[in-house]
Structure 1
Amino acid sequence: MLGWTAVAVILLSACSGKRDWQLTGPTMGTRYHITLVAVPAEVDRGKLQQAVDAELRAVNQEMSTYIPDSELMRFNRSKVGQAIPVSAPLADVVALSLDLYRRSEGAFDITVGPLVNLWGFGPEPEPELIPTPAEIEALRTVIGSDALQLQRNPDLLTRTRAVQLDLSAIAKGHGVDRVAALLRRRGIENFLVEIGGELRTRGHNPDGQSWRVGIESPNPKGRVVQEPIRVSGKSIATSGDYRNYYQRDGVRYAHSIDPRTGRPLKHRLASVTVIADTCAEADGLATALNVMGAEAGLQLAEREGLAVFMLVKTDEGFEERFSSAFAPYLER
């Protein structure tokens, strides 16, 4: 399951203790990396990794658009107007997605997939010609999270139009949260879980301090840390458009599509990083704010007390902007 470009760099010390472990494996079209500190003696490393892999396979089976018989894809094939029973995890993610859709005034939309595919950022290769206005408008009439109706307890999901759901902008964050919950059930209280750049922290790092994470600079020459931050007990996600793009006739088309216009973003916001309690919310908010742009995004951040850091393109390079709630995390 591929999501938006993530640009967070994890700054770790080497694990030196006997019960300090690092686990890694493939998932969601990328890899997970887990750092564990002071693991309880009763936890078996092999069994723990098996449990992590099983949990992430479950997430994929629920929410992947690349698995034909996933729960999400079965829903996408369901009859319009029919209430479909869904699992609690899928209902939770859809509920959060609908909340973000409302809060961002449509900038975050889990039905935008057909437009992403039209512009050549889905499974199909880049188009030789950019989409026509008629093609864009035709798809805009069939997307929109307002076509979704969610009922809880029992969990039933209905689509009133033939929209197709794609959770790739939030599923990695949800996967991080699921792994974090698993670790806590095993009695592990000091960890950092990362999937494709989205991460969640708890407790302390191998040095006994808060976890240290670097926000990556949008540097085409390689991975460079723009700003280091220390954070514990929170989640971090970053969204940006500077690595996944193509050019046609001298015009740059980035992979981030604004559901409200049906077209790639044109503003100068290069990346946005969000700190939140859950990684799913941080993941979704980072995407929403990236679509909204620096001015509207920071207005939302200040209105809701969100911890947000942005890098905005200027003629000289990049300008840092951040919300009031983000300032305490900066190492200054």
Structure 2
Amino acid sequence: MPKMSTDFQRFALNGPTMGTRWSAVFHAPVNFEGAPLKLTLAAAVAEVDEQMSIWRKQSDLNRLNDAPPGQWLSLPHPLMEVLARGLEIGGASGGAFDIGLGDATGAWGFGPEAASNDTIYAARTRARLPAYEVLELDRDNRRARKHGPMTFDLNGIAKGYGVDRLSKAAEEHGIASALLAIDGELKAIGARPDGSQWTIAIEAPDRDRRSAHSILELSDAAIATSGDYRHWVEIAGKRLAHTIDPARGMPLHASPASATVIAADCATADAWATAMMVLGRDRGRSLAEAQGLTVLFIERGASNELDRFGATSRPTRSHPATGSEFVQSR
């Protein structure tokens, strides 16, 4: 029997962005033209990268970084939206998530420049205020100003926001069943046509190989993972993970192996995953419950074995990884 136009087919699109790749797996009628959607998806994430990248000298974020304290600067709406969300989560997390650590991330080699002793010393000894006490936003007029020197870095939230933009673009094209991703940040729209949820693998935080630690089933929600095992620099023979301790201006010296957060949108999940790495399991679980977040911590014990700890505020199924087809969150 020939397929009818109401039959659904699986499509997969992807492209480069933010030093990695975006992807969109979705179900649509068999006669769906994917080329226009791919252009829209690529444009959506390109706009995020052009506005929020610390690697692009002419980005709007770097214009803000270069602006002197006290000067109002007009900024585009998407960047204003992400700055506002970053300040909000910064305050709600007690400063565990802080978009004002650009000097420290750069000093330790997680930005465009290589690490150096001088910049590391400056980052470690600098008196710090959280970004929500330094950056003022005038959202009605789309402008911002700093009340003191500060360098902003949105790497802990911009990819998640990029996923949200992918999701919005897909929905505007009539897609009701999709899984959108940038690196380890993902968002599920609806369920698959057979009614089953999207299957997401949580990567085992292993520096030397890639494998799944556990699997979640997800629909109409976003997920993001932050960990100590993929992005790091080696200084004096020691590997230092990319998550910065806001209190010290240094990479975390003690943290979970990874923290995975489920939230309604991916920007929120992305930022809170970073905050949970900084807070650690005990403080993080309490705050997650207060914020209505679902969190999965994976820790290494004395034997370097992995243990899993959950703080769940909404129904979700989790089980050991099997041979199922899945998309990884890492």
Q: TM-score range by the shorter chain?
A: 0.7 to 0.9
Task: Indicate how the Cα distance of structure 1 residues 326 and 265 shifts in structure 2: closer, same or farther if over 3 A, else same.
Answer: farther
Q: Deviations over 1:184-208 (max 9, x none)?
A: 1111100000101100001223654
1:158 counterpart residue number: 145
What SS does the aligned partner of 2:275 have? helix
Match of residue 82, structure 2, among 81, 84, 93: 93
Pairs within 5 Å for 1:165-180: 165-180=152-167
1:148 counterpart residue number: 135
Output the CA distance in 1 between the equivalents of 2:215 and 2:128: 43
8 Å contact 1:309–1:326 — kept in the other structure?
A: no
Match of residue 47, structure 1, among 22, 30, 36: 36
Output the CA distance in 2 between the equivalents of 1:323 and 1:23: 33
Output the CA distance in 1 between the equivalents of 2:300 and 2:135: 36
Q: Deviations over 1:98-122 (max 9, x none)?
A: 0111011111111101111222222
Output the CA distance in 2 between the equivalents of 1:108 and 1:306: 15
Q: Deviations over 1:10-29 (max 9, x none)?
A: xxxxxxx7732100110011
Pairs within 5 Å for 1:266-277: 266-277=253-264
1:301 counterpart residue number: 288
Output the CA distance in 1 between the equivalents of 2:293 and 2:158: 20
Pairs within 5 Å for 1:1-332: 19-39=9-29, 41=31, 43-127=32-116, 131-132=120-121, 136-138=124-126, 140-141=127-128, 144-205=131-192, 208-248=195-235, 251-316=238-303, 317-325=305-313, 328-331=316-319
Task: Indicate how the Cα distance of structure 1 residues 135 and 309 shifts in structure 2: closer, same or farther if over 3 A, else same.
Answer: closer
Output the CA distance in 2 between the equivalents of 1:129 and 1:252: 19
Q: Deviations over 1:77-126 (max 9, x none)?
A: 22321222222211111111001110111111111011112222222234
Q: TM-score, normalised by structure 2?
A: 0.88
Output the CA distance in 1 between the equivalents of 2:273 and 2:110: 19
Q: Deviations over 1:40-64 (max 9, x none)?
A: 84x4211111111111111112211
What SS does the aligned partner of 1:20 have? strand
Task: Please report the RMSD computed on the Cα atoms of aligned residues, expressed in angstroms.
Answer: 2.3
What SS does the aligned partner of 2:262 have? strand
Task: Indicate how the Cα distance of structure 1 residues 40 and 158 shifts in structure 2: closer, same or farther if over 3 A, else same.
Answer: farther
Task: Indicate how the Cα distance of structure 1 residues 233 and 161 shifts in structure 2: closer, same or farther if over 3 A, else same.
Answer: same
Task: Indicate how the Cα distance of structure 1 residues 129 and 319 shifts in structure 2: closer, same or farther if over 3 A, else same.
Answer: farther
Output the CA distance in 1 between the equivalents of 2:41 and 2:231: 29
What SS does the aligned partner of 1:311 have? strand
Q: TM-score, normalised by structure 1?
A: 0.87
Amino acid at match of 2:44: E
Q: State percent identity of aligned pairs.
A: 35
What SS does the aligned partner of 1:293 have? helix
Please identify, of 106-115 and 214-223, the stretch whose mean Cα deviation from structure 2 is larger. 214-223
What SS does the aligned partner of 1:260 have? coil
Task: Indicate how the Cα distance of structure 1 residues 208 and 267 shifts in structure 2: closer, same or farther if over 3 A, else same.
Answer: same
Output the CA distance in 2 between the equivalents of 1:144 and 1:34: 33
8 Å contact 2:191–2:220 — kept in the other structure?
A: no
8 Å contact 2:8–2:27 — kept in the other structure?
A: no
Listed as ranges, the gaps of 5+ residues in structure 2 are 1-6, 321-330
Amino acid at match of 2:124: I
Shift of 1:273: 0.2
8 Å contact 2:54–2:111 — kept in the other structure?
A: no
Amino acid at match of 2:74: P
- In the TM superposition, structure 1's runs of 4+ consecutive aligned residues that sit over 6 Å from their partners are none
Listed as ranges, the gaps of 5+ residues in structure 1 are 1-16
8 Å contact 1:143–1:163 — kept in the other structure?
A: no
8 Å contact 1:217–1:223 — kept in the other structure?
A: yes
Please identify, of 51-60 and 118-127, the stretch whose mean Cα deviation from structure 2 is larger. 118-127
